[in-house]
């Protein structure tokens, strides 16, 4: 039996900002229906890794394969077609649009014509987008908020809507940047369950500071420190790795 290809594989990724090596020779694989965590102290390079995968920063070196096929580093406008979606570290909803409209904006790749006009102008497109957006809202248990203005939501509720907006494009790879950040204990448990369920539909790449979330939802974890992968494996392996313990000693990672 052959091993299935990773849906996403990064090799020898380096990113320099001037003289600073933000990432050096980073490797990472993500398989179908897997939740993979990227952890590391502040400044380790986690956001830079996400940004390289999303076309926000340009790698100095390295290669990317998607489903076993070599691919140039994606540009931001190609992400939806490549089946990649991300949430932002902040929430990033349009405050004076409704929740449903915010989620519909994530689905405009399914429309025949351009962006806002497709979402809000043409009745056939609009009905289709509305339906997809409602389904995405259902997946985060958010249909009850559909017609509220985004700025009337609590912070935890707006985080789940941001996830619905990413899900509506039906990504194969969902990148979540600190989904549990700023949440209280009860909402963290809820987010934990949601991430766990998400992998039934897609693979998840997760940057998260809450170690209990990372340890409980991730199938595998990569640990970055000063731009390099210092450990990778399942949570037990990573938790006990002396290199990880040493890198975190004194940095107060929970
Ligand atoms: P993390 O997300 O793990 O906290 P980052 O990826 O944000 O780390 O940062 C990695 C390193 O790269 C840090 O030293 C940071 O200061 C630097 N860095 C990040 N983005 C930029 C940028 N746009 N220009 C210059 N330096 C940057
Ligand atoms: Mg960061």
The predicted structure's pLDDT at residue 254: 43
- H or E segment to which residue 34 belongs: none
pLDDT of res. 250: 46
Starting from the edge strand earliest in sequence, which strands make up the sheet with 61-66, in order? Answer: 20-30, 8-17, 61-66, 69-71
Task: Please give the pLDDT value at position 237.
Answer: 93
Are 6 and 29 in contact by the 8 Å Cβ rule? The answer is yes
In this structure, the residues whose C-beta lies within 6 A of any atom of ligand 1 are 17, 20, 22, 40, 42-48
What is the pLDDT at residue 252? 43
Domains annotated on the chain, with CATH? 1-83+172-254 (3.40.50.300), 90-170 (no CATH)
Structure confidence at residue 89 (pLDDT): 66
Quick check: pTM over 0.85?
yes
Ligand nearest, relative to CA of residue 177: 2
Predicted local confidence at residue 229, as pLDDT? 97
Q: Contact 168/132 with Cβ under 8 angstroms?
A: yes
Q: Which atom of ligand 1 is nearest to the CA of 227?
A: 10
The CA 27 to ligand 1 mean position distance, Å, reads: 18
CA of 119 to the centre of ligand 2 (A): 32
Ligand lying nearest the CA atom of residue 42 = 1
The rounded Cα 13 to chain-centroid distance in angstroms is 18
Angle between helices 155-167 and 185-198 (to 10 degrees): 10
- Tens digits of pLDDT across the chain (254 residues): 556 789 999 999 999 999 999 999 999 999 999 999 999 998 999 999 999 999 999 999 999 999 999 999 999 889 989 999 988 766 688 999 999 999 998 876 555 545 455 555 567 777 888 999 999 999 999 999 999 999 999 999 999 999 999 999 899 999 998 899 899 999 999 999 999 999 899 999 999 988 889 999 999 999 999 999 999 999 999 998 999 988 875 444 44
Distance 156 CA to ligand 1 centre (A): 26
Residue the block writes with tokens 């290809």: 5
pLDDT recorded at residue 98: 94
How many whole angstroms separate alpha carbon 232 and alpha carbon 45?
A: 15
For 87, phi then psi, to 5°, come to -105, 155
């Amino acid at each position: 039996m052959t091993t299935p290809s990773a849906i996403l594989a990064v090799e020898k990724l380096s990113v320099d900002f001037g003289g600073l090596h933000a990432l050096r020779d980073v490797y990472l694989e993500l398989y179908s229906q897997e939740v993979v965590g990227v952890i590391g102290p502040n400044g380790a390079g986690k956001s830079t890794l996400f940004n390289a995968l999303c076309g926000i920063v340009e790698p100095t070196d390295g290669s990317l394969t998607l489903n076993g096929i070599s691919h140039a580093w994606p540009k931001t406008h190609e992400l939806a077609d490549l089946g990649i979606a991300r949430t932002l570290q902040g929430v990033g909803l349009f405050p004076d649009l409704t929740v449903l409209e915010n989620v519909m904006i994530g689905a405009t790749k399914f429309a025949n014509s351009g962006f806002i006009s497709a979402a809000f102008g043409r009745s056939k497109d609009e009905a289709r987008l509305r339906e997809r957006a409602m389904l995405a809202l259902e997946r985060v248990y958010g249909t009850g908020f559909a017609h509220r203005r985004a700025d009337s939501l609590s912070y935890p509720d707006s985080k789940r809507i941001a996830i619905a907006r990413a899900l509506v494009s039906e990504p194969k790879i969902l990148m979540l940047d600190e989904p549990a950040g700023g949440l209280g204990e009860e909402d963290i448990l809820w987010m934990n369950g949601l991430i766990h369920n998400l992998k039934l539909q897609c693979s998840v790449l997760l940057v998260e500071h809450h170690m209990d979330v990372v340890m409980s939802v991730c199938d595998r974890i990569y640990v970055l420190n000063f731009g390099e992968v210092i450990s990778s494996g399942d949570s037990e392996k990573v938790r006990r790795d002396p290199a990880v313990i040493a890198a975190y000693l004194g940095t107060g990672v929970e």
